[in-house]
Structure 1
Amino acid sequence: MVEKITLTLVDGIPPDSRVYHYDELPERAKERFPRLIETDERDMATPKQICNTFESDDIIKFTDYYRITVRQESSRV
């Protein structure tokens, strides 16, 4: 299985959302997050340790607010 994180830019924050500020993230997640933003599709295979930091629908405040989606995909052989 391959772990992928997708970022989606959001305008409004639902009241039940868990919001993290970038500076609250663990160091490895801080290193990866700007790279996720820079990719055109905002979808990148990501080490499991970083994926475990997030749950789907978490929101990260960086320069804007981004919704995190974590999913597993079957690796093709």
Structure 2
Amino acid sequence: MDHLVFGIVLIFVNIPYGSLIYSVLGLVIFAGLIMFDFQRLRRSSDIESAPLLAASIFLDVLNVFLFFLRIFRGR
């Protein structure tokens, strides 16, 4: 939730290194979500929830990759 609010604030206010802070905050949040989803996968015995958990982990990893791209872009 804080990540979303900070992103909206960055639209209207010019904060020094705001994009870097936004990206690092996003990395921390999605790293936590990856760990949480892997724990859910490990504890789950229901085969029907496996595709949703796999999709959730995939989207978390994709977001981490996008935040890394945002940090290391050539600006």
Fold shared per TM-score above 0.5:
no
TM range, normalised to the smaller chain?
under 0.3
TM-score of the pair, normalised by structure 1: 0.23
Q: Which has the higher helix share?
A: 2
Structure having greater relative contact order (Cα 8 Å, sep ≥ 6) = 1
TM-score of the pair, normalised by structure 2: 0.24
